[in-house]
Structure 1
Amino acid sequence: MKRGVLGLMRQDLPPLQSHRETRTVDGVELRDQISVAGVQRTANGTDITEGRAATQSLGERESVQLTADDVVVDGTDDVRTRHTQFASVPGKFVVVDNGTGTFLFDLIESQTGGAVERATLDLDAFLDALPDPQLWKVGFYDRDGGAESGVVHGDDVLDDGAFGSALESLPKNQVGIDTTFDDTEYKLNVARSGYVEVYRPSDVDTAEYVEFLREVVVPHAN
């Protein structure tokens, strides 16, 4: 796991446990499930709970029948299942592998009674804390004028003579960064909405990814 959406635990919740529950919607039985695969400890002593989760919802599936006289369109109930991989540091945060997987935050609240909320990242504070970050992408928003929002790509875009100073002062919703962590070069894509993806090193494992989140990203998450 080296990309995902960050959710912050608002209470000191216990480690996640495997859990399954059912509910009935319009007479159809639906399931929610958390399946814990195991717990591992990082080199820095952080315990990580890993696993998968799934949830079912009721939708409508369209069916079309062709008759000699008409085209008949009908809808039938359809059970749809979403799933996600997750990794969690007990009492601190959980990360799911994409935005669709944020349903797990609600499942955790249902299981434990404690709130888990999608993180919002303070990208300026995050950048200020990094050692000499080189930005190859900056997304901005809420700008006065014709260009209200946009994304700029390049090599160290904040040093650009025409755009650099303006970009530095604008509210940012995403950044692409080259930086160093634990004497290792990292290439990242980080969004204000809590999404963090590591492109390099390409062999980052789940423990390294979660440790990076814990030490570098979470201190700037709200």
Structure 2
Amino acid sequence: MILRIFRQLKPLENASQEMQKAREEIFKQIALELKLQEQIEELRMLLDTCIAPAGPEQIFAATIYPMILRFNLLAYIEPSEPHRIEIEIGYIGHMDEYYYWIVEVDGMSRDGVEQMLQPRQRNEEDVISIVYRIPAAGYLDVENDSSVLNLILKSRHLFLNILEDVKRRGYVIAPAKSHLGATLWNRRTSENAYQIRLIQHRKRREKLERELRRAR
């Protein structure tokens, strides 16, 4: 089942054999960790939002996906530029307000590793958000170290550091008691909270359910 879902992923663009093997091994390892088919299908859909994937951006995103579930966070991804994954991560907080930040993962960039925990501000339609840029090609350096364990440890260590930085900025983040039966779309959220994102999540959820029915 895991291999069947993996084969539905978009092929990598001009990737070495080491990169292709690393992505496959990471996907299998994370899928075993997730266990539920619904979660694995959801992971595949998230990774497939990447246009012309290079590999490192999908490896990083796949590795932190179980952590997003564990911390009971919402995640939203839209197609971005080629070989990039832009993950909007957030939660419903006090008074049904939606709090979020953005992790921008670049699968081709090697520059700026030392600035990964120095987010920039983005102002769109008078909404200010903070953006953490991850030059995944340079940080993970898969060509020189394709160890699955090392890739997972490096990705999760960085994500935990990002969460710590976010907490210092006043966000409230705590692990959920269990994420074994959770997906990004079945959170208990208020109907008044950030309606646009919730509608988009609902549509993607419906698409996933249709794909699961066809797979059966």
- What TM-score, normalized to structure 2? 0.25
- Tell me which protein shows more strand as a share of its residues: 1
- Tell me which protein shows more helix as a share of its residues: 2
- What TM-score, normalized to structure 1? 0.24
